[in-house]
Amino acid sequence: MPEIRHDPLLDRWVIIAPERAKRPQEMPPAEPTAQAQPCPFCEGNEKETPPELWARRDGRGAGPDSPGWTVRVVPNRFPALTTSSPVRHEHTGLLKSIQGVGAHEVIIESPGHEDGLADLPPSHLQSVLEAYRLRLRAAYQDSRLAYALVFKNHKGPAGASLYHPHSQLIATPVIPQNVRLKLETALKHNARTGTCLLCSLLHQERTSGTRVILEADGFIALAPFASRFPYEVMIAPVRHMPDFTDMRNEDLLGLAGMLKDILQRLKMALDDPPYNYFLSTAPNPAALEQEEWDAAHLKSAGHWHLEILPRQRPPAGFEWGSGFHINPGIPEDAAQHLREIGTKRGE
């Protein structure tokens, strides 16, 4: 039977409708994004990108913007936002706008064009996560930037315009609506109960175990109760940790192992599907005053986490018009399948 489930983190509802999986599909799947020639992200083509902002090098390179790197961060050549813009607010009646100040960076995850995160060793993924941490810290040195979102689009149907493995960071002068809703919901729960909402949710999920896929090295992966997409996965630290930028190197290595494991399971379960993932973490402390949020309150209420969304079907008219998502997959079944894949691999 269909079920309407509540997502406690965003105070929204999702329709779980397994019968929808049986409907006929006449539209062909989107073709993978064609390879760019030459690929600007491949090793040896460093001059095809703007000057690098950071890189993890293996000792072979002659210096910045040369070969010999394992992870490299560059400004996006076609940025959605740029730090060169001033912060200028404009109001015309009910309409308001802000000059497009912000930052847009590309994290090139490997010099190899065919490398996927699921296939890289944990030590390499640790360097990718280190880039996330360092570039978030760098973004928050600019008091104009309220929030920085790290995200990845894997394959064309998920929004990737280049095949080469990469993720991105976009920083904005306002806190995005989804982030704001999540933080406000967490703050309300904390004010009412004195506890972190996600900590309470993780405790309940660990007690039940039904939707837990894996727990290791201080991290947990689960299929959210109100998953928006089939095989949606959330990864979070078990201990309370509001800000990803506070992650220690050993934490990054544990997360790298968890992320690799989950991406491998999804690759096996769904034949390497297109997916998006994004990091939900604390906003720039400089932005809290204008939001009238108390930093100490937010630290006790917030809890960073990573959401992975396989994109087997796009949102359609009902989703856009209502705000509901219709998920034809049952989260408990997805969690069980992903657990079984780990068992078959001998874990």
Whether 12 is in a domain gets the answer yes
Cα–Cα distance measured from residue 304 to residue 210, given in angstroms and rounded to the nearest whole number: 22
Question: Which range of residues forms the domain containing residue 10?
Answer: 3-23+36-344
| Residue-level pLDDT at 268 | 95
Cα–Cα distance measured from residue 30 to residue 23, given in angstroms and rounded to the nearest whole number: 18
Cα–Cα distance measured from residue 8 to residue 182, given in angstroms and rounded to the nearest whole number: 9
Whether 179 is in a domain gets the answer yes
Burial class (CB in 10 A: 0-12, 13-18, 19+), 347: exposed
Q: What is the dihedral of CA 292, 296, 302, 305, to 10 degrees?
A: 120
| Residue-level pLDDT at 314 | 81
- Lookup result for tokens 């006449």: 26
Whether 29 is in a domain gets the answer no
| Residue-level pLDDT at 26 | 42
| Residue-level pLDDT at 21 | 60
Whether 256 is in a domain gets the answer yes
Q: Catalytic residue numbers?
A: 166
pLDDT tens sequence for the chain (347 residues) = 566 567 788 676 655 556 556 544 444 445 444 454 689 999 999 999 999 999 998 776 667 888 889 999 999 988 888 777 667 777 777 777 777 778 899 999 999 999 999 999 999 999 999 999 999 999 999 988 999 999 999 998 888 888 899 999 999 888 888 898 999 999 999 999 999 999 999 999 999 999 999 999 999 999 999 999 999 999 999 999 999 999 999 999 999 999 999 999 999 999 999 999 999 999 998 887 777 778 888 899 999 999 999 998 888 887 888 888 888 899 999 999 999 997 666 55
Q: How many domains does the chain fold into?
A: 1
Burial class (CB in 10 A: 0-12, 13-18, 19+), 271: exposed
Whether 30 is in a domain gets the answer no
Whether 333 is in a domain gets the answer yes
Contacts of 127 (CB under 8 A, 6+ apart): 56, 70, 71
Cα–Cα distance measured from residue 137 to residue 309, given in angstroms and rounded to the nearest whole number: 25
Whether 28 is in a domain gets the answer no
Whether 193 is in a domain gets the answer yes
CATH number at residue 270: 3.30.428.10
| Residue-level pLDDT at 347 | 56
| Residue-level pLDDT at 35 | 57
pTM: 0.90
